[in-house]
Structure 1
């Protein structure tokens, strides 16, 4: 019974580690320049400000790969930081439900 418990403990530890790593990701759509600079490799103050400015002008990033569109950020930087970043939960824009047409009254004879 001893080895079985050890495997369970190992599996649980790996699960918790994965959850902790996912929770530590930086949301590139909401993080300020300081957070971006401190949390991402090869992103200094100028690049962090460029990310925030790009986001303000063009809206949120849809994918992590879109970060490469920012001047000064290349695909190598995106790949190096891929596991550290997220764009947050993707939700569809809320639209009003379609309105049902009210049927016209039927004239009585």
Structure 2
């Protein structure tokens, strides 16, 4: 009886852990040197359309970003925004 209860508990644990992973969306990244404002706004958390347009305008005026930290040169983009999106930001 004890082994049956253990098997049921283990099955339930495995079932619920599999369901929790099903809700997680794959992490999407964006190349900030090539993406449109719409793509940037869609992928980066805390970056809306107007901030994404400022990123693109800065890029067009000053050239490509050398690294993610260079985004702090854009008004309204600070270190917290970069840290929250580090895995999403691609610089090529």
Aligned to 2:69: 65
User: Which residue of the other structure, out of 33, 38, 42, is the alignment partner of 1:34?
Assistant: 38
Please state which structure has a larger fraction of its residues in helix. 2
Give the superposition deviation at 1:74: 0.6
Q: Which runs of 5+ in 1 are unaligned?
A: 1-19, 89-109
Is the radius of gyration larger for structure 1 or structure 2?
1
Higher relative contact order (CA 8 A, sep 6+): 2
TM-score normalised over the length of structure 2: 0.69
Q: Which runs of 5+ in 2 are unaligned?
A: 1-25
CA distance in 1, matches of 2:77, 2:68: 12
Aligned to 2:55: 51
CA distance in 1, matches of 2:62, 2:40: 18
User: Which residue of the other structure, out of 68, 73, 79, is the alignment partner of 1:75?
Assistant: 79
Aligned length: 67
